[in-house]
Structure 1
Amino acid sequence: MTDTLAPAGPFSAPERDAVYRAIKTRRDVRSQFLPDPVSDDVLRRLLTAAHHAPSVGLMQPWNFVVIRDPSVKAQVAQAFSRANEEAAAMFPAERRALYSSLKLQGIEQAPVNLLITCDRTRDGATGLGRTHAPDMDLHSTVCAVQNLWLAARAEGVGVGWVSIVTDADLRGIFGLPDHVVPVAYLCIGHVAELHTEPELQVKGWANRLPLDDLIFTDRWGQH
């Protein structure tokens, strides 16, 4: 294989601005999904973006399970409902009412659901870059999720991450082998509007932290 190099200079100003716009306006979508189908071409572009994510040792540990079957979505929605009831009871009383008022999934409303998994055997027993950091395969898979999410924003497609569901339920519904870990269950569909700020901030659950408070120099805690 011939090694080729390409210029590494900055993007043009409009290209750069588009990247930052996708980053800053990306939202976790739960209730704004339109019924319009997501075309195969658009979905393919999103999956291609995910597949071009960085992965340690070029292990590419991800797989993508595309779900359109309403009966499968219904099983996941039931699993979410069980987990969500358990989750509500974990919050203090003063937060419980607000938690229960939040819409935290769009499983059956979104035209497409997507399960992104991590195959923990993909790079063999000793993978490059995992000898001392064995969870890098999981971290690499999350990079694929982020790539897909930003590409979706550029396409005018909304994405919502459903985290309130157990691994055991996802394993059972999708027949995952033991060495495959469910990393992200996503709801995907076209949207007409997005919140200008994160929805949980709009609803009063949390606020974005000041960046300067999170930056240290040379060692922990040193601003």
Structure 2
Amino acid sequence: KMMLALRKILNTVGNPHLKALNDRFLADRTFVSRFRQAPAAKNFHHNYLGGLLEHTLSVCGMADLLAGHYPQLDRDLLVSGAFLHDIGKIREFGYTRNIDYTDEGRLLGHLVLGVAMVEDKLGELKDFPPSVALRLTHMILSHHGEYEFGSPKRPKFLEAFALHLLDDLDAKINGLGRFMEKDRLDGDWTDFNRMFGRFFLKTRIPGAEKTPAEGKEARPRQGSLFSPKPDESPIE
């Protein structure tokens, strides 16, 4: 269901060059198979099989909504960047027995690997505009937002900045939500969260729904396969 939902969003990309690039990846059976299985991280967010697809679908969906709210954003560029921003993670992580970094994951990282994968597909396309390729490359390299978070460049145009914010939001909501779900302390507050440096209030306000609204189907979600160890520091 998640892969079909992602394809549905990407099929609405109108820019012929970006659509051709996205379609190259979607037509690559090896890529799609690994993309559907890969985790999005080792420890913090979407750190389970299928997590990368879930995270990518979420960021693409938010990119679609954000572009509808802010007409100054190039929707096709933002949605395509959202699709491609983490593809390097299919090579960054191995997950045969548990989730861990591959050699190229440790030596290069998913930002560099993702750019290399995009460049390989661009080599199969004729007349792809260099200016568009440059912007996509920048979006992949800058989506962590700051140097201290692993980006060699900070976002320097609207779509790149928006992608960083959406990626960060989805990662933190997922990671924090799972932390709160796993908390077993009695009372209204969670245990201390070292990543965010605070306790979190976990009780709902009166009347808050605990299940999807009637008539609405919950978005597909993968279950957890590997749980992070308590002493492991979060890594996106």
Larger strand proportion of the pair: 1
Larger RCO: Structure 1 or Structure 2 (Cα < 8 Å, ≥ 6 residues apart)?
1
TM bucket normalised to smaller: under 0.3
Larger helix proportion of the pair: 2
| Structure of greater Rg | 1
